[in-house]
């Protein structure tokens, strides 16, 4: 595909045209912020939300996209739809979300949706030959075996997850065959150092208070259980075409080293910078260029120390479970992810405890018989099956 960049069209500079799927979330709103900061280079042409209509109306007034999608079809008759600009078309339904990015007037699709629902949008955008700025890590966890070959044939995949953007940049200009290991950094989450017994008492309010990043509820809980790090190992395994054993997780409490690649000669390339998602978001839009920083710079004189440690997989079994799912491969990560999504939303709804999250994931993984990944339809059925199993398990614990 042609690399999207600002370029002259008939003497005028054309801006990169961006569709943001999940614009009302943490990543989506920060993508809008980058678009606002670089309005001379970026044009927002399409936006989607699930239910956040007030946010959508405000963003549409500010950015004047050509079209928007609302995933929740029950909002079709909502009076707030009339507040959208008159020249902005509206579509409804989950399918509409994946469709608004595939039209000819889009250069880059930012997939900032949360959960398994992101798979279809990622696939549709790549099939349409778009650059995909991928925040939705669940896409690669579930369907990496289908998405990576697709991305080599059509479109272009640029990671937005800060660790993967860091690794992507540490690989730039190097021969991947000379890499020895990936060091994937981890903040340790809000419960770093706690015992299993202490974790039994954790509440949703405790879990939602992340020390470093301000993120959506699902990824914040995933960060607290360390499932997020497991999902990221799977994401890195697919993105960089490396075995699971090639990836080492290291706790870096300050979240200033975003990840590292170690080469065969012992040299280690690290990516450092402010803990601000707008940096990797912007890089997915500007690549291969670099533009002015979207956030305050890091002053190393103020930073003090950088600490490192090993993750505790006994107190936080979700990391070990995800690594195991990655090693088993095939459809196991799909079942593992679905179980985790159900368990996290049950925990947030007060229907199970914090440590029931890993118990639910382990239960579903034990019952799943992995198959070779063949199609999205097959993955969809396994996702449904795993959700049912997880719901039944959570209900049995009450
Ligand atoms: N947040 C971070 O700092 C961060 C960092 C790295 C990676 N990520 C990854 O990026 C993704 C998004 O994370 P986030 O923290 O931005 O999540 P979030 O704040 O929960 O936002 C999710 C977005 O997806 C929309 N959405 C939710 N369910 C949907 C559905 N069924 N159909 C269509 N749209 C739906 C939401 O719309 P409504 O507002 O209408 O519900 C919202 O716009 C996740 O995969 C996460 O792991 C996030």
Phi/psi at 313 (5° precision): -80, -10
221 in contact with ligand 1, CB cutoff 6 A: no
Closest atom of ligand 1 relative to the 24 alpha carbon: 43
Residue count of the chain, please give it.
Answer: 398
Q: Quick one: which H or E segment has residue 248?
A: strand 247-251
Q: Kindly state if the Cβ of 215 falls inside 6 Å of ligand 1.
A: yes
Whether residue 363 sits in one domain with residue 309: no
Let me know whether 143 and 211 are in one domain: no
Query: Which of the four pLDDT bands, split at 50, 70 and 90, describes residue 101?
Result: very high
Question: Is the CB of 187 within 6 Å of ligand 1?
Answer: no
Q: Using CA atoms, how far apart are residues 190 and 33, in angstroms rounded to an integer?
A: 27
Q: How far apart are CA 292 and CA 281, in angstroms?
A: 13
Statement to judge: residues 256 and 338 lie in one domain: no
Residue 11 lies in a domain: yes
CA of 221 to the centre of ligand 1 (A): 13
- Residue 205: band (very low, low, confident or very high) from pLDDT cuts 50, 70, 90: very high
Q: Is the CB of 68 under 6 A from ligand 1?
A: no
pLDDT at position 335 is 98
Same domain, 122 and 69: yes
Find the 223 Cα to ligand 1 centroid distance in Å.
Answer: 14
Neighbours of 243 (CB within 10 A): 9
Compute the distance between CA of residue 124 and CA of residue 146 in angstroms, rounded to an integer. 12
- Say whether both 267 and 316 belong to one domain: yes
The answer, yes or no, to whether any atom of ligand 1 lies below 6 A from the CB of 171, is no
| pLDDT score for 398 | 81
Q: Which residue, judged by its Cα, is nearest atom 29 of ligand 1?
A: 50
pLDDT at 5 over 80: no
Across 4-139, the runs of DSSP E, i.e. the strands, are: 7-9, 12-14, 16-21, 42-49, 67-70, 89-92, 108-111, 131-134
371 and 223 housed in the same domain? no
Element (H, E) at 392: helix 376-396
Q: What is the separation, in whole angstroms, between the first and last Cα of the chain?
A: 52
Ligand 1 in reach of 22 Cβ (< 6 A): yes
Inside any domain, residue 182: yes
* 101 and 13, same domain (yes or no): yes
Report, as an integer, the average pLDDT of 177-198: 96
pLDDT at 210 over 80: no
Which residue's alpha carbon is at the smallest distance from atom 21 of ligand 1? Answer: 25
Residues 189, 127 within the same domain: no
Q: Given pLDDT bands bounded at 50, 70 and 90, which one contains residue 10?
A: low
Task: Give me the chain's average pLDDT, please.
Answer: 95
**Which of 60, 111, 113, 229 has the most ligand 1 atoms within 8 A of CB, as the residue to mutate?**
113
pLDDT of residue 244 exceeding 90, the answer is yes
Distances (CA, A) of 145 to 85, 89, 103: 41, 35, 26
* DSSP states of 266-313: S-EEEEE--S-THHHHHHHHHTTS----SSPPP-HHHH-----B---T
β-pairing, 7-9 vs 257-263, is unpaired
Residue 153 lies in a domain: yes
Is residue 285 included in any domain, yes or no? no
Q: What's the pLDDT score for residue 99?
A: 97
Distances (CA, A) of 15 to 5, 18, 99, 335, 396: 7, 9, 21, 41, 54
Domain boundary pick from 115, 143, 160: 160
Measured from the CA of 135, which atom of ligand 1 is nearest?
A: 10
Q: Are residues 260 and 346 in the same domain?
A: no
Same domain, 337 and 314: no
Mutate to test the pocket of ligand 1, among 219, 348, 387 (most ligand atoms within 8 A of CB): 219
User: Is 16 a member of any domain?
Assistant: yes
**Which residues, 6 or more positions from 114, have their beta carbon under 8 angstroms from its beta carbon?**
22, 25, 136, 138, 216, 218, 219
- Number of folded domains in the chain? 3
Query: Are 16 and 129 members of one domain?
Result: yes
Q: Domain of 98: which CATH number?
A: 3.40.50.720
102 and 215 co-located in one domain:
no
Position 6 scores a pLDDT of: 59
Q: Does the beta carbon of 294 sit less than 6 angstroms from any atom of ligand 1?
A: no
Q: Give me ligand 1 centre to Cα 301, in Å.
A: 34
Phi, psi of 258 (to 5 degrees): -90, -15
The C-alpha angle 253, 255, 260, rounded to 5 degrees, equals 105
pTM score of the predicted model:
0.96
Q: Of the residues 117, 143, 160, which one is the last residue of a structural domain?
A: 160
Residue 282 lies in a domain: no
Q: What CATH number corresponds to the domain at position 340? A: 1.10.1740.10
Among 102, 127, 160, the domain-final residue is 160
Is 278 contained in some domain? no
Q: Identify the residue whose tokens are 């990496």.
A: 144
Domain containing 362: what range? 331-398
18: phi then psi, degrees, rounded to nearest 5: -115, 135
From the CB of 136, is ligand 1 less than 6 Å away? yes
Three-state secondary structure of 334-383: HHHHHHHHHHHHHHHCCCCCCCHHHHHHHHHHHHCCCCCCCCHHHHHHHH
Residue 292 within any structural domain of the chain: no
> Above 80 in pLDDT, residue 140?
yes
Stronger pLDDT, 5 or 82, i.e. the higher one: 82
């Amino acid at each position: 595909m042609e690399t999207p960049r600002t370029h002259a069209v008939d003497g005028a500079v054309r801006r990169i045209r961006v569709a943001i799927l999940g614009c009302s979330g943490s990543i989506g709103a920060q993508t809008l912020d980058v678009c606002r900061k670089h309005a001379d280079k970026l044009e927002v042409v399409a936006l989607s939300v699930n239910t956040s209509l007030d946010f959508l109306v405000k963003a549409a007034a500010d950015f004047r996209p050509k079209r928007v999608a609302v995933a929740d079809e029950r909002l079709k008759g909502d009076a707030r739809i009339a507040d959208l600009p008159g020249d902005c078309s509206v579509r409804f339904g989950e399918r509409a979300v994946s469709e608004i990015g595939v039209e000819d007037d889009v250069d880059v699709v930012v997939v900032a949706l949360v959960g398994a629902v992101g798979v279809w949008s990622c696939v549709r955008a790549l099939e349409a030959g778009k650059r995909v700025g991928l925040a939705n890590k669940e896409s690669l966890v579930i369907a990496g075996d289908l998405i990576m070959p697709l991305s080599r044939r059509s479109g272009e995949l640029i990671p937005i997850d800060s660790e993967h953007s860091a690794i992507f940049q540490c690989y730039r200009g190097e021969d991947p065959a000379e890499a020895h290991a990936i060091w994937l950094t981890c903040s340790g989450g809000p419960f770093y150092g706690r015992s299993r017994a202490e974790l039994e008492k954790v509440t949703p309010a405790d879990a939602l208070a992340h020390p470093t990043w301000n993120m959506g509820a699902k990824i914040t809980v995933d960060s607290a259980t360390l499932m997020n790090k497991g999902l990221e190992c799977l994401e890195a395994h697919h993105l960089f075409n490396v075995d699971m054993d090639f990836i080492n997780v290291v706790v870096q409490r300050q979240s200033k080293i975003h990840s590292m690649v170690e080469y065969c000669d012992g040299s280690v390339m690290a990516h450092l910078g402010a803990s601000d998602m707008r940096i990797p978001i912007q890089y997915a839009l500007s690549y291969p260029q670099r533009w002015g920083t979207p956030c305050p710079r890091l002053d190393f004189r103020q930073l003090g120390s950088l600490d490192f440690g090993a993750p505790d997989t006994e107190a936080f079994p979700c990391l070990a479970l995800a690594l195991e799912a990655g090693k088993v491969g095939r459809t196991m990560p799909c079942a593992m992810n679905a179980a985790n999504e159900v368990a996290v939303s049950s925990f947030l709804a007060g229907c199970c405890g914090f440590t029931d999250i890993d118990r639910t994931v382990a239960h579903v993984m034990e019952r799943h018989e992995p198959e070779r990944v063949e199609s999205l339809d097959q993955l969809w059925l396994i996702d449904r099956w795993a959700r049912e199993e997880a719901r039944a398990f959570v209900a049995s614990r009450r």
